[in-house]
Structure 1
Amino acid sequence: MPSPEYSLPDTLERIYKNQLALEAAIMELTLWAEDCKTSNVGENVRGALETIGENAGHIKQGLARIKQNGKM
């Protein structure tokens, strides 16, 4: 079995994928909370999700630059 790569770009890529998975899970909980008529909770969580989305874009661009430059 090949050993996993522990380079900085690989590690950051995994963090990014975790962030996307957490975003999806939080969205599911948000939809459930809104269905239960707890719109205040839904609004608060949507604000946090907006921040996650903005950061995800920044992380993705940073990863692309790191991989392009070959920095470790």
Structure 2
Amino acid sequence: MPHSDLLPSLLFKINENQLALEAAIMELTIWAEKRGASEVAGNVRGALVAIDRNEEFIKMTLAVMMTPD
């Protein structure tokens, strides 16, 4: 298998990891918020906006890359 054939699978796995990290960070954000760290929680939520903003494009691009020619 050529290395270029591995690229879509690699990117898919990286994206899965990114989404798992986002979920874990959100859990920690909720935990911090419940303990009165609302400013920190707000900052984290703001930083996670980029993941949400890019998620659909990443999924669509991966779908195209993983579709056989």
The TM-score with structure 1 as length reference comes to 0.80
Unaligned ranges ≥5, structure 2: none
Offset at residue 68 of structure 1 (A): 2.6
Offset at residue 34 of structure 1 (A): 0.3
> Share of identical aligned residues, percent?
52
Q: 1:45-64 counterparts in 2 under 5 A?
A: 45-64=44-63
The TM-score with structure 2 as length reference comes to 0.83
More helix by share: 2
Q: Pairwise CA RMSD of aligned residues?
A: 1.5
Paired position in structure 2 for 1:3? none
Moved over 3 A (4+): none
Aligned 8 A contact 2:32 2:38 in 1: yes
Unaligned ranges ≥5, structure 1: 1-5
Paired position in structure 2 for 1:22? 21
Aligned 8 A contact 2:9 2:66 in 1: no
